[in-house]
Each structure stands twice: as C-alpha cells, then as structure tokens.
Amino acid sequence: MRLLLLADTHVPARARALPRQVWDEVGRADVVIHAGDWVTPPLLEELEGRARRLVAVHGNNDGPELRSRLPEVARAELGGMAWGVVHETGARTRRGERMRAAYPDLDVLVFGHSHIPWDTEHDGLRLLNPGSPTDRRREPHCTYMTATVEDRTITAVDLHRLPRAGALP
C-alpha cells in the first residue's frame, strides 16, 4: 500500500496550487493523508475527486466550511495498522510521550502545523510530519512524504523535497 502524506498546503494563501510533482504522487497513491491547513475548500474537493481514498482533518487555519466537513482527528486502518491524523501536537519537547499517552491505540500518527518534517518513534508510536509542499517557512525546502506499508509494517518512509512554493501544475 502506497501512502501520500501532506499537510499545511495553504492553497491559495501560500501557493495558487499544489506542485505537479505532488499531483503525480496523488495518482500513484492508494491513500492520500492530509493533516490540515487547507485554507479553502477547492483543494479538498479536487483531492476528493482525484485520490483513490482520502483521510484528512482540518487545521487551525481552516474556516467553518472545512471544519464542518473534516474532523479534528481522523483514524483509519491502513495496511493492517492503526493510523491517526491530527493537525497540531504542540511543542516538540516530549511530543512522543504526550502523543503516545493521547493515542494509546495507534501505530502511526500523522500531524502538521509546524511545516517541519518529522519522523520519530516513541514506545511503538511512529510520528510523521510531512512538512509543507507549498510553504517552507524557515525550512530549506517545501516537502511531502510517501510511505509504503506491507504486512502490518511500514517498509519505507521517504521525504521528498520540492522547488520553491508556487509552482503551478
């Protein structure tokens, strides 16, 4: 199972559209995961139409319409593993410990908000933040992640770097 992990797309506030490379990944993914901060509904609608399956949440920059359509926390069984998606996890200090306590039933938690890529494990909980494909903030690159799950195991997690934000598809 191939997964595409996105967060903090901020379309159209930070970029007019997702980069072509990300749309290519949507076409290859079995599941697209989006950890919030869409900003406006059109990108959600486009991903709903193009993704085989979408697991998504709203973020702190998402208004009432997105909040009415997307949960704050999403859960899904993917490849025999329990996955969760949230936008914000708080400070990086003791993040693993806090998230394990908050989500004792999960194998993987995908989150966003910081725009900083993250891949750690704490007490059996894998924490993944794909960064942002459109707004690098203080990071050197815009980013997203792909992951492969086989036989109840994550066999690969890859961080992909993009050119500067604003690339049109």
Q: In sequence order, what are the beta bridge partners of 143?
A: 161
Question: Over the stretch 70-103, which tens digit does the pLDDT of each residue have?
Answer: 999 999 999 999 999 999 999 999 999 999 999 9
Residue 129: partners with Cβ closer than 8 Å, 6 or more residues away: 7, 35, 110, 111, 112, 113, 114, 116, 117, 118, 119
Confidence of residue 164 (pLDDT cuts 50, 70, 90): low
Q: Burial level of 146, CB count in 10 A (0-12/13-18/19+)? A: middle
Q: Looking at residues 128-149, what average pLDDT do you find?
A: 95
**163 vs 140: CA distance, rounded Å:** 10
pLDDT band at 141 (very low <50, low <70, confident <90, very high): very high
DSSP 163: S
Amino acid at the residue 100: R
Report the pLDDT averaged over residues 112-132.
Answer: 97
Collapse the DSSP code of 99 into the 3-class scheme (helix H, G, I; strand E, B; otherwise coil) and give the result.
Answer: helix
Residue carrying the six token digits 């707004």: 135
Could you tell me the CATH superfamily of domain 2-162? Metallo-dependent phosphatases (3.60.21.10)
pLDDT in tens, 22-73: 999 999 999 999 999 999 999 999 999 999 999 999 999 999 999 999 999 9
Asked whether 16 and 168 are in contact (CB, 8 A), the reply is yes
Q: What are phi and psi of 39, to 5 degrees?
A: 90, -50
* Neighbour-count burial of 48, counting CB atoms closer than 10 A to its CB (0-12 exposed, 13-18 middle, 19+ buried): middle
- Classify the C-alpha dihedral 102-105-107-109 as positive or negative: negative
Mean pLDDT of the chain: 94
What is the residue extent of each domain of the chain?
2-162
Residue 167 predicted with pLDDT over 90: no
For 151-164, letters b (16+ CB in 10 Å) and e give eeebeebebbebee
Residues pairing with 64 in the sheet = none
Give pLDDT, residue 169. Answer: 41
Whether this model's pTM surpasses 0.85: yes
